[in-house]
């Protein structure tokens, strides 16, 4: 189980996260696990865009059910920031 966790964590961390408008909303900073069910619960993002570049970016938690696709980038359903 731990080897799977480490593999998934290293695969996701530092990937760009895009919303349905193809706006970069952040970069994966951490993966939160439910150890009882052995499933990813959410991903933590460092906010992307201009605010992060000037030091005003926040960390955001995205529930795993908002994730639409994981490839070179992580695509989420809907818009995270309005």
pLDDT at 2 over 60: no
CATH of 2-76, one of 3.40.1390.10, 2.40.170.20, 3.30.70.60, 2.30.30.240: 2.30.30.240
Q: What is the DSSP letter of 19?
A: -
Q: Report the predicted TM-score, pTM, of the whole model to 2 decimal places.
A: 0.76
Cβ atoms of 57 and 50 closer than 8 Å: no
C-alpha to C-alpha distance for 36 and 28, rounded to whole angstroms: 23
The pLDDT of residue 72 is 93
The pLDDT of residue 3 is 40
Cβ atoms of 42 and 61 closer than 8 Å: yes
* pLDDT tens sequence across 13-72: 899 999 998 888 889 999 998 888 888 899 999 876 665 555 566 788 999 999 999 999
And the tokens for 82? 């309005």
C-alpha to C-alpha distance for 48 and 59, rounded to whole angstroms: 10
């Amino acid at each position: 189980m731990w080897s799977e966790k480490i593999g998934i964590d290293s695969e996701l961390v530092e990937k760009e996260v895009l919303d349905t408008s193809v706006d970069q909303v952040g970069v994966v900073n951490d993966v939160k696990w439910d150890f009882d069910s052995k499933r990813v619960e959410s991903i933590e993002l460092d906010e992307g865009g201009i605010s992060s570049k000037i030091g005003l970016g926040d960390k955001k938690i995205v529930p795993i059910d908002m994730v639409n696709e994981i490839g070179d980038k992580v695509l989420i359903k809907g818009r995270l920031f309005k």
